[in-house]
Amino acid sequence: MKITICIGSSCHLKGSRQVVEKLQELIAQHDLQEKVELSGTFCMENCQKGVCAMLDGRVFSLTPEQTELFFKEEILPKA
Amino acid sequence: MRKFDTKVQYLKYQVLREVARMAWNDTLLDAAVDIPKMIVPGKRPTMRCCVYKERAILAERVKIAMGGDKSNPNVIEVIDIACDECPMGGYEVSNSCRGCLAHRCEDACRKGAITFDHNHAAHIDKSKCVECGACAKVCPYSAIVNHKRPCENSCKVKAISMNEDACASVDNGKCVSCGACVYQCPFGAITDKSFILSVIDLIKKSDGNKNYKVYAVVAPSISSQFEYAKLGQVISAIKELGFFTVVEAALGADMVAYSEAAELVEKKTLTSSCCPAFVDYIKKQFPDLEKYVSHNLSPMATIAKYIKETTPGAKIVFIGPCTAKKMEFQKPEIRPYIDCVITFEELQALFDSRDMDIKTLPEDVLDNASYYGRIFARSGGLSDAVAQALKEQGLEDFDLQAVSCDGIEECRKALLRLKAGAAEGSFIEGMACLGGCIGGAGCLTHGEKNKAEVDKYGWEAYEKTISDAISVFKLK
């Protein structure tokens, strides 16, 4: 499973690094390093809805605070 | 609205703008020959002896704006008919000499080259003179002047000489493509080839970034340019041109500082690899010191490599102050990462070729790098960043002896010292342009406040440490 996080300027200012760090921490906690791949891209053309994340072709709008919920609802069940 | 330092830059810009305008409209092939007359209409000359010569020179400028002489590998090119064949006699006594009694010039001359005529006026015997300039320094009337061509004077690697027609000629074996002569020639006879047509082609063929994405990687010195608008508006304008998005080269610089610090600890002695003119200078003039050149890619290539790895098919255009980058991206080891390089001068021409009013555009954001990556744009910034990177990696015990070389002459001195045997911990930050990248030949302006502008832009960065800024590199 591959999750792409937008690391463009706009999302960066809205906390994409914190989102990435949170995801890395959760992935490590649940021992999912082999199954979940994190990647980055500069701009996903949805700057207003940042921090943008893409999973299976679907775009999610995240904040650092919502990241844990996103992980539990979208990643954990499928991993 | 003052955009450029000199009228030479303005002229070059007008040509680039018209070439670009026609390229967007697909009329360049038919209409390029009309450009000289568009810029110099009428019958009265405004710059040279006659309008025909003005137009002939402009026709050469059009060729250079379209890529220039393909048989010459150097991006720095002389327009021979534009060279004014300036006097080149070296030190000469002008008619300001009053035939004084003191004769300080005579005392200052260690070669006995100064004689006096029956009016007591000084003369320099050229068979004895060594062009040291001591006489000129002591003359109370400043009557002794140095007739040295501005191009030769600006070229600190001594790559410019005069050919048999008294026209300037560039020795590609010595030239590092820094562009100092381009900025200094008062007649605009030496200029840098432009690749704007490749950029326009890349943008057009992307079909609104549908076929592939075109990224603009901008140098941090952009913060001191385009002073008539806000940086955010310039970012909007770059996207309006058709770029998918804009990324800071300074993020590549953060990465370079981080790995260069580790490389320095391992090798003990290192010379920086950010400035392509400095690296070329070492290769051409100090080949035995090449082993000290950092193995890191330049910040431009580092960030471009990352973008290409994470976004397959992406095309990358570097926009900066530098003419030497136009050489760097053509190297086989850099070519896979960078598709084209243009300067801020050329960016301005691209904006105006689309008649954009930048001041009315909304402000976009540009924030990828840390303070340290951003201050690479000015002399001393790289050394500060390496010191910080040592600290962040717990290597602060390393005895860093950083030497920031501001301009090619200081680079030369530091390299000579290194050749003679340097102290451990030597880090030589080499910047070919005075002031660092903000002094680059492709800048629109070279102002006093530029360094302060870069520092201010640095402080505004969201990320405060190099490690935080480069954490994104872990994502693949």
**Topology match between the domains B71-85+151-193 and B90-147:** yes
CATH of the domain at A8: 3.40.30.10
pLDDT value, residue B89: 82
Count of structural domains within chain A: 1
Phi, psi (rounded to 5 degrees) for B127: -75, -20
Return the pLDDT at A79. Answer: 76
A40 touches chain B (CB under 8 A): yes
Which residues does chain B have within 8 Å of residue A7's beta carbon, measured at their own beta carbons? Answer: 368, 472, 475
Q: Is the four-CA dihedral B220, B225, B227, B232 of positive or negative sign?
A: negative
Per-residue model confidence (pLDDT) at position B425: 64
Which pLDDT score is estimated for B68?
96
Calpha distance B266→B268 (Å, rounded)? 6
Contact B368 A12 (CB under 8 A): yes
Whether the bond into B234 is cis, omega within 30 of 0: no
Using the CB atoms, write b or e for B131-170: b if 16+ within 10 Å. eeebbbebbeeebbbeebbbbbebbbbebbebeeeebbeb
Contacts with B104 (C-beta within 8 Å, 6 or more apart), sequence order: B135, B138, B139, B140
Quote the CA–CA distance of B24 and B43 in Å, as a whole number.
30
Segments of chain B scoring below 50 in pLDDT: none
Any idea where the domains of chain B sit in the sequence?
1-66, 71-85+151-193, 90-147, 197-474
B247/A42 Cβ within 8 A? yes
* pLDDT one-digit tens code per residue, B228-276: 999 999 999 999 999 999 999 999 999 999 999 999 999 999 999 999 9
pLDDT reported for residue B473: 86
Contact residues, chain B, for A5 at CB < 8 Å: 475
pLDDT at B422: 63
pLDDT of residue B3: 84
B153 vs A: CB within 8 A = no
pLDDT tens-digit profile of A11-28?
999 999 999 999 999 999
Instruction: Give me the amino acid identity at B334.
Output: I
N-term to C-term CA, chain A: 7
Q: Compute φ and ψ for B281, nearest 5 degrees.
A: -60, -45
Fold of the domain spanning B71-85+151-193:
Alpha-Beta Plaits (3.30.70)
Interface contact A40-B310, CB threshold 8 A: yes
Contacts A21 to B, Cβ<8 Å:
471
**Residue A7: domain span:** 2-75
Name the CA radius of gyration of chain A, rounded. 11
The shortest CB-CB distance from A39 to any of B367, B463, B476 is to B476
Strand partners, B92: B145
Contact yes or no for B472 and A20 at CB 8 A: yes
CATH number of B90-147: 3.30.70.20
pLDDT at B148: 86
Average pLDDT, chain B: 95
For residue A45, the distance in angstroms to the closest alpha carbon of chain B comes to: 9
ipTM value of the model? 0.93
Cβ–Cβ below 8 Å for B475 and A20 = yes
Q: Cα–Cα distances in Å, from B307 out to A40, B236, B338, B350, B384?
A: 9, 20, 10, 24, 26
Q: What is the pTM of this model?
A: 0.93
**Per-residue pLDDT, B369:** 96
What local confidence, expressed as pLDDT, does residue B396 receive?
87
The reply to whether residue A39 touches residue B475, judged by beta carbons under 8 angstroms, is yes
Two structure tokens written together for B40: 């110099």
